[in-house]
Chains A and B, each alone.
Chain A
Amino acid sequence: MKMTETIHLINQFIQIACLSAVAVLSARRSGWLFRLLAGAFSCYLLGDVFYMLHMWIYGQFPSGFSVAYLSYIGTYFFLITIDLWLAGEWTNEQKKTMRPYRRISMAAPTVVVVLHLIYYIRDGGFFINLLFCVPLSLLAYYSLLILLSGGAQSGLGAPPWWYHGAVLLFVFVENMMFLSSSFGSDTVYTAFDFLMSGAILLMYWAAAKEATA
């Protein structure tokens, strides 16, 4: 096994350990936010486990369409569900005050689409690109919208910049992992892969902080 593959596997181990910890911690807490977070972390964990098992059993990481991708997309949808839950609780009055923020929030999905477009031009794979791009764009949009619009409207009871900031970091790292893999830079990819564990831990920590605030 190459050195880069070994580092990648170690990274995956760290990520699996972090995900297992936050999935169990989220499942043990009460409230809808933690139930959905437990779902999101479990989904990502299953994807990572599948990815690693595939490597161990077949001696190579899955190529083309993989169920692991489906689990990552499932994670994005769990996180979008959290944002939609928050957004759905807003009153009409609150929605009116959101209007200016909606335009600014469009910047986040635009960045995601541009990054995916670069990835598509370099690596192809229209279907898989679309599968990742749509939920990541939605997640980026809602996270930035809720982040900008302030905590009072979030329904969490405290300013949600930490949690939604962590989600935006998560989206950014996911995109950068895509991009760095298409540019063939193993070191940069590994760095972002490592940063992913941090983003996941930060997401749980922020949610716990805001729920208790």
Chain B
Amino acid sequence: MIYLENIFVCLAAPLLIAVFLLEGEARRFIGFFLLGLTACLLAGYCNGYIEQAAVSGGLDYTQFVVQFAPVCEEILKALPVLFYMAVFEPKRRSIVSSALAVGLGFATLENVNHIANYGAVELPFALVRGFSAGIMHAICAAILGYGLAFVYQRKWLALTGSFAVICAATTFHATYNLLVSAQGVWRGLGYILPAVAAAAIMIGIKNS
């Protein structure tokens, strides 16, 4: 059995030192990366409880992964960014980079845990994991970052806008989970979906 807390401590310790050593933009990025790792750890706990409740309520494990896990994970990823925006009123660029840092931190701990659980012997396995789930979390974070930065232009839109953006990120995450939980061609589509979406977002950003 792999203990997620132990992996978290190993990854977080040097980053915590870096937060105190660095300054400015780099410190903020590392800080939010650390919060992303923490969000992943908390998601592990929350998902465990929800899974127990869902499975005892008659839901099978796959349905839990597809329908419930994304909701919990996206809310936990959004919380640090929402807090940062509510308290510090940062610039738009800072919101986007903070959200991305949270997403990358989350993806890092999740990937390390996955590799530790299922083995790191095969490079293709690691590549597929890194370029699918890793990018998927980055995209969800980008949706959150750009979306929240946009709706926070007007204070009174914060509540409805934030909820809408979290819903969009959650559905993208759930669609990925749905595809990779299937077999055959669907799973293959799931693996390439994040890369395609990332390319589309990058083209969109360049053109805007």
Contacts and interface: CB of A to CB of B under 8 A. Distances in A.
B185 to A, nearest CB: 10
Contacts of B207: 28
A206 B172 CA distance: 28
Contacts of A84: 154, 156-157, 160
B151 A81 contact: yes
Interface residues of A, number: 34
Given A62-B67, A66-B67, A85 B175 contact: no
Nearest to B187: A57
A62 B207 CA distance: 37
B167 A65 contact: no
Given A46-B171, A50-B171, A85-B157, A67 B164 contact: no
Given A39-B147, A88-B154, A74 B175 contact: no
A70 B79 CA distance: 18
Contacts of B186: 53, 56-57
Nearest to B177: A67
A11 B164 CA distance: 25
Interface residues of B, number: 30
Interface string A46-82: 1101100110110000100111101101110110110
B71 interface: yes
Interface in B157-172: 157, 160-161, 163-168, 170-172
Contact of B178 (A53, A70, A73): A53
A81 B153 CA distance: 12
Nearest to B175: A50
Nearest to A56: B186
Contacts, number: 90
Contacts of B164: 39-40, 43, 74-75, 77-78, 81
A202 interface: no
B171 A47 contact: yes
A27 interface: yes
A154 interface: no
Given A77-B163, A81-B164, A67 B156 contact: no
A49 B178 CA distance: 11
B60 to A, nearest CB: 10
Contacts of A53: 175, 178-179, 186
Given A43-B168, A67-B171, A67-B174, A81 B157 contact: yes
A35 interface: yes
B157 A74 contact: no
Interface of B: 66-67, 70-71, 147, 150-151, 153-154, 156-157, 160-161, 163-168, 170-172, 174-175, 178-179, 182, 186, 204, 207
Given A27-B204, A85-B154, 7 more contacts: A35-B150, A39-B147, A53-B178, A53-B186, A77-B164, A81-B157, A84-B154
